[in-house]
Amino acid sequence: MKSTLLASLLITSFSSVFAQTNPVITEPTVTVAAPCIAAPQKPKNVILLIGDGTGLAQWSAAQASTKDNLQVFNLVEHIGLSKTSSSSHWVTDSGAGATAFSIGEKTFNKAIGVRADSTPAFTLSEMLHVKGKGTGLVATCGLTHATPASFYAHQVSRYMDKEIANDFYSGFIDIAIGGGYPWYDSAKLSQAGYQRFVCTKDSLHKINSSKFIAFYDKSNDVPKVRDGRGDFLTDASMAAIRNLSQNPNGFFLMIEGSQIDWGGHDNDADYVITETLDFDKTIGAIGAWAKENGETLVIITADHETGGLTMPGYDKTAGRPVSLFSTKDHTGIPVPVFSFGPGSEAFKGVYENNTIHQKILQAFGE
């Protein structure tokens, strides 16, 4: 209020000064005062990047293995911490972790798009689709996996792949790119209005479609980046953005770096680092696009940390910090939330994971 008052006083005083000295020049008064009275900018698009199992140690391990500053560290404007516990456990799984983001409530481990009492709840993607926004999912795992599934399916267990895939045909997701080919029925997909692509024969760069599902190949899994996945995550993310951008109402896109978590479960530091660097490369591409676009809020976080990774010293021979894992499973420590773009200031602070849902809706002005 104070700055608004000050701004109008400025306009008045500038106007009167100019009115007395030179009535012709009026434009500078507006140029000077406008930034003070500008309302907070609302994003047209929101991109939520989830590095599965990516705590501060995973980012640090990736940073220590490259001389360049990580893209996420270059791009970040606001930093927060997300408390990841589920309604049933101090240590969450990826189902409850992603469902907290998608439905805005904490739920029990293994849950997919259902509340703590097992009733289905609307997901962010479903809510925003109904409002006319484009919706997308990109993952480096099968699309029935817990993280992407939590944005379109409503099942009491993440292991119900068949039922999860079946929920996809309700059509709330416009664009989905990842693995999981065997679970999705081609007739049901086309009945629901989806074009189907397989990236081994269809180039992601050439897809022009408002409603499609694209699979890495015809298998269920997507390979590790160190086993030849190449730039699939970046290419898939940019293909999703290019097609979702055609929606005049904007879009909501979730992108998952799925296998950072798998490296943590394997206690394989090299797997964690290569997957985190690949995820960071995608963040760099999205950051360049978002800066140019100017209407996109980008949030980068994790559902939980995996492996209890710590770096208690430096290995001179290997040329990188010693990486030690304390568990083969997830941990309950808070995870960083990096954000940039219009509306990103709302992601500062320390908060529960499920509030990220409300923050996204509020950023959109819902």
> What residues line the site for Zn ion (CB under 5 A)?
261
Residue nearer to Zn ion on the CB measure, 257 or 342: 257
How many Å apart are CA 42 and CA 102, to the nearest integer? 20
In the list Mg ion, Zn ion, none, the entry touching 258 (Cβ below 5 to 8 angstroms by class) is: Mg ion
Assess contact for 253 and 285: CB atoms under 8 A. Answer: no
Stretch that binds Mg ion, among 24-32, 45-53, 159-167, 237-245 (CB under 5 A): 45-53
Q: In whole angstroms, how close is the CB of 350 to Zn ion at the nearest point?
A: 23
Residue nearer to Mg ion on the CB measure, 114 or 207: 114
Residue nearer to Mg ion on the CB measure, 332 or 349: 332
Both tokens of 336, joined, read: 């960083």
Stretch that binds Mg ion, among 76-84, 253-261, 312-320, 354-362 (CB under 5 A): 253-261
Q: In whole angstroms, how close is the CB of 155 to Mg ion at the nearest point?
A: 15
187-194 long-range CB contacts below 8 Å, 24 or more apart?
189/213, 192/168
Residue nearer to Mg ion on the CB measure, 85 or 243: 85
Q: In whole angstroms, how close is the CB of 329 to Zn ion at the nearest point?
A: 7
Residue nearer to Zn ion on the CB measure, 126 or 261: 261
Residue nearer to Zn ion on the CB measure, 261 or 268: 261
264-267 long-range CB contacts below 8 Å, 24 or more apart?
264/53, 264/58, 264/305, 264/306, 264/307, 264/309, 264/325, 264/330, 265/53, 265/306, 265/307, 265/328, 265/329, 266/328, 267/307, 267/325, 267/328
Task: Tell me: does residue 278 bind Mg ion (CB under 5 A).
Answer: no
How many Å apart are CA 270 and CA 201, to the nearest integer? 30
Assess contact for 258 and 139: CB atoms under 8 A. Answer: yes
Q: Within positions 104 to 143, which residues make up the interface with Mg ion, using CB under 5 A?
A: none
Rg of the chain taking only CA atoms, in angstroms: 22
How many Å apart are CA 62 and CA 284, to the nearest integer? 14
Give me the residue whose beta carbon is nearest to Zn ion.
261
Q: Within positions 295 to 334, which residues make up the interface with Mg ion, using CB under 5 A?
A: none
Task: Tell me: does residue 94 bind Mg ion (CB under 5 A).
Answer: yes
Output phi, psi for 357, to 5 deg.
-60, -55
Q: In whole angstroms, how close is the CB of 53 to Mg ion at the nearest point?
A: 8
For residue 223, give the 3-state DSSP assignment: coil
Output phi, psi for 294, to 5 deg.
75, -5
Amino acid at the residue 17: V
Per-residue buried b or exposed e for 239-255, using 16+ beta carbons within 10 Å of the residue's own CB: bbbebbbebeebbbbbb
Task: Tell me: does residue 258 bind Mg ion (CB under 5 A).
Answer: yes
Q: In whole angstroms, how close is the CB of 169 to Zn ion at the nearest point?
A: 27
In the list Zn ion, Mg ion, none, the entry touching 278 (Cβ below 5 to 8 angstroms by class) is: none
Task: Tell me: does residue 52 bind Mg ion (CB under 5 A).
Answer: yes
Task: Tell me: does residue 161 bind Mg ion (CB under 5 A).
Answer: no
Q: In whole angstroms, how close is the CB of 146 to Zn ion at the nearest point?
A: 8
* Sequence-separated (6 or more) residues with CB below 8 Å from residue 10: 32, 33, 36
In the list Zn ion, Mg ion, none, the entry touching 29 (Cβ below 5 to 8 angstroms by class) is: none
# of chain residues touching Mg ion (CB under 5 A): 4
Residue 117 CB burial class (10 angstroms; 0-12, 13-18, ≥19): exposed
Task: Tell me: does residue 275 bind Mg ion (CB under 5 A).
Answer: no
Both tokens of 239, joined, read: 């293909």
In the list Zn ion, Mg ion, none, the entry touching 140 (Cβ below 5 to 8 angstroms by class) is: none
Residue nearer to Mg ion on the CB measure, 109 or 258: 258
In the list Zn ion, Mg ion, none, the entry touching 58 (Cβ below 5 to 8 angstroms by class) is: none
| Interface ranges with Mg ion (CB under 5 A) | 52, 94, 147, 258
